[in-house]
């Protein structure tokens, strides 16, 4: 397996890796996680990246350390401050930095270890190149149906809302995102040519990337308006990490009081260093009779002062089991949190800051299970109003109905069995 070193790119793959090990298979995870001196001085996303190798090893997976490109640090530090097309441009440069050398490294490891199949995050093209270089089957993993075209949706990565006027701004955004897609195609093709690898031409972002298998951790009911996909595609449902026994003793889970309405607040691992955003959220929630559980991350030190009888602040929480115990979620709209909240049947207020988050926010609205609040409109009043809308019985009923469509769907098991069929 191969992915970029963030929780968003690795959580589902780690869940699959654990299940594969339980079935008796040897599993390795390749990460380009940089060793950072004075790590406490670096932005939160880079600090999290340094902890992932240890987490992978705790899962019992063999770690393959890829050499990170210095450019990865540069792009990784800038992404949290960029928006719209600028953020997408930085992200694509981050995902392709050091691609050829990482593909070489992976290819050597594949040959030396006798690896049978390569499973890679779709935004880790080094894994695709290594698989083609060693003539191994390649499974691409997508955390949802993003970034594929959706009927009536704004161009992926543009930062525009779906209901924006189809004017000159819209046209410029379409051209800019198309140009970035072409840039990504050419960048991957260039390194593929240097490695002597042949790939299909174009569309690596807008269509399923693998000719062998594309795993989408979703189901059609969760992807309204999705246009038909080409190639070998399997929708598995969300691939959720298994709850650990130790999680049941976590202070966040033990804080849930029966008979109370609880709201879970998280801004993920990349965007959680924004105490002012948390303040606006908490001020808005305080206008309702709810108890709030906050996963504060980098803002923990600043938010401790907000803790009280109705506001519980933690640095981090076991998110999947916690979602089963709360009533509503306020999130940045990252793929993991959105998929996990949908599986738990929890309505959401989504405050998207960039990338796939805006697309997820609009998807949640189209599904009828949440409300998007753009950061430019974020204040206590907008948060309070959004939660009022979630309290409507129809929204809660719709969230529960979607969760019911996932009853009995073990996305992790389905994905694992699809990968094993490639080996056979």
Question: What mean pLDDT do residues 273-280 have?
Answer: 91
Q: Which residue has the higher pLDDT, 51 or 125?
A: 125
Indicate if the pLDDT at residue 241 is higher than 90: no
Q: What confidence tier does 41 reach under pLDDT thresholds 50, 70, 90?
A: low
From 244, 270, 318, 214, select the one nearest 90 (Cα to Cα).
270
Question: What mean pLDDT do residues 177-206 have?
Answer: 92
7-237+409-423 shares its CATH topology with 245-405: yes
Q: Residue 156's Cα: distance from chain center in Å?
A: 15
Residue 370: burial class (beta carbons within 10 Å; 0-12, 13-18, 19+): buried
Residues sharing a CB contact under 8 Å with residue 261, sequence separation 6 or more, in sequence order: 288, 289, 290, 291, 327, 328
Interaxial angle between packed helices 125-133 and 168-195, expressed in degrees from 0 to 180 and rounded to the nearest 10? 30
Each residue of 88-106: pLDDT tens digit? 888 899 899 999 999 999 9
**Bond preceding residue 147 cis, omega within 30 of 0:** yes
- CA pair distance 405, 57, nearest whole angstrom: 34
Indicate if the pLDDT at residue 42 is higher than 70: no
Q: Domain boundaries in the chain? A: 7-237+409-423, 245-405
Of the ranges 211-215, 239-243, 246-250, which one carries the lowest mean pLDDT score? 246-250
Question: What mean pLDDT do residues 153-166 have?
Answer: 82
pLDDT at site 69: 85
String of DSSP letters for 120-153: EETT-HHHHHHHHHTT--EEEEESSSTTS-BTTP
Q: Could you count the other beta carbons within 10 Å of the beta carbon of residue 405?
A: 16
pLDDT at site 43: 58
Indicate if the pLDDT at residue 271 is higher than 80: no
Q: What confidence tier does 44 reach under pLDDT thresholds 50, 70, 90?
A: low
Q: Is 367 within 8 Å of 402 (Cβ atoms)?
A: yes
pLDDT at site 378: 95
pLDDT at site 183: 95
Each residue of 46-77: pLDDT tens digit? 667 778 898 999 999 999 999 888 888 778 77
Q: What is the dihedral of CA 318, 321, 324, 329, to 10 degrees?
A: 20
Q: What confidence tier does 358 reach under pLDDT thresholds 50, 70, 90?
A: confident
- CA pair distance 106, 64, nearest whole angstrom: 8
Residues sharing a CB contact under 8 Å with residue 109, sequence separation 6 or more, in sequence order: 28, 30, 64, 115
Residues sharing a CB contact under 8 Å with residue 179, sequence separation 6 or more, in sequence order: none
In eight-state DSSP terms, residue 228 is: P
Tokens 């019992």, located at residue:
60
How far lies 374's CA from each of 84, 352, 360, in Å?
Answer: 13, 6, 12
Q: Is 217 within 8 Å of 342 (Cβ atoms)?
A: no
From 100, 96, 156, select the one nearest 121 (Cα to Cα).
96
Interaxial angle between packed helices 70-78 and 84-96, expressed in degrees from 0 to 180 and rounded to the nearest 10? 160
Sheet holding 138-142, edge to edge: 118-121, 138-142, 213-216, 233-235
pLDDT at site 339: 93
The architecture (CATH level 2) of 245-405 comes to: 3-Layer(aba) Sandwich (3.40)
Question: What mean pLDDT do residues 110-114 have?
Answer: 95
pLDDT at site 344: 95
- CA pair distance 219, 241, nearest whole angstrom: 18
From 53, 69, 185, select the one nearest 128 (Cα to Cα).
185
Of the ranges 124-128, 274-278, 284-288, which one carries the lowest mean pLDDT score? 274-278
Q: What confidence tier does 244 reach under pLDDT thresholds 50, 70, 90?
A: confident
From 242, 201, 210, 211, select the one nearest 121 (Cα to Cα).
210
From 114, 77, 99, select the one nearest 197 (Cα to Cα).
99
pTM over 0.75: yes
State what percent of residues in the chain have pLDDT above 90: 70
Each residue of 290-330: pLDDT tens digit? 999 999 988 999 999 999 999 999 999 999 999 999 999 99
Q: What confidence tier does 37 reach under pLDDT thresholds 50, 70, 90?
A: low
Average pLDDT for the chain:
91
String of DSSP letters for 62-80: EEEEPPPPHHHHHHHHHGG
Q: What share of the chain is helix, strand, coil (3-state, %, to 5)?
A: 50, 10, 40
The architecture (CATH level 2) of 7-237+409-423 comes to: 3-Layer(aba) Sandwich (3.40)
């Amino acid at each position: 397996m191969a992915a970029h070193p963030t929780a968003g790119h690795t959580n589902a793959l780690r869940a699959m890796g654990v299940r594969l090990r339980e079935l008796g298979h040897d599993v390795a995870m390749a990460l380009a996680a940089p060793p950072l001196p004075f790590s406490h001085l670096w932005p939160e996303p880079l600090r999290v990246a340094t902890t992932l190798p240890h987490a992978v090893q705790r899962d019992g997976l063999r770690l393959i350390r890829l050499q990170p490109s210095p450019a990865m640090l540069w792009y990784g530090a800038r992404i949290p401050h960029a928006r719209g097309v600028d953020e997408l441009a930085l992200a694509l440069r981050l995902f392709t930095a050091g691609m050829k050398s990482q593909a070489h490294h992976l290819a050597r490891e594949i040959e030396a270890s006798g690896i049978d199949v390569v499973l890679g995050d779709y935004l880790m093209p080094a894994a695709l190149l290594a698989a083609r270089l060693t003539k191994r089957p390649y499974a691409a993993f997508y955390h949802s149906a993003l970034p594929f075209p959706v009927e009536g949706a704004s161009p992926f990565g543009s930062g525009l809302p779906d209901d924006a006027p189809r004017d000159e701004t819209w046209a410029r955004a379409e051209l800019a995102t198309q140009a970035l897609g072409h840039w990504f195609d050419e960048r991957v093709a260039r390194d593929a040519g240097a490695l002597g690898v042949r790939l299909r031409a174009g569309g690596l972002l807008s269509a399923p990337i693998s000719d062998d298998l594309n795993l989408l951790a979703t189901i059609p009911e969760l992807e309204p308006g999705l246009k038909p996909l080409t190639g070998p595609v399997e929708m598995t449902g969300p691939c959720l990490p298994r709850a650990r026994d130790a999680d049941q003793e976590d202070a966040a889970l033990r804080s849930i009081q029966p008979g109370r309405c609880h709201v879970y607040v998280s801004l993920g691992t990349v965007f959680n260093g924004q105490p002012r955003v948390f303040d606006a959220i908490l001020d808005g929630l305080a206008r309702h009779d709810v108890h709030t559980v906050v996963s504060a991350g980098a803002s923990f030190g600043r938010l401790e002062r907000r803790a009280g009888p109705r506001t519980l602040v933690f640095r981090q929480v076991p998110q999947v089991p916690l979602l089963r115990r709360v009533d509503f979620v306020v999130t940045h709209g990252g793929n993991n949190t959105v998929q996990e909240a949908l599986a738990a049947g929890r309505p959401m207020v989504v405050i998207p800051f960039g990338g796939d988050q805006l697309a997820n926010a609009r998807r949640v609205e189209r599904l009828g299970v949440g409300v998007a609040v753009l950061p430019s409109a974020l204040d206590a009043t907008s948060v309070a109003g959004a939660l009022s809308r979630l309290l409507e019985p129809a929204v809660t009923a719709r969230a529960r109905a979607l969760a019911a469509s996932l009853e009995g769907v073990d996305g992790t098991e389905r994905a694992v069995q699809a990968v094993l069929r490639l080996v056979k």
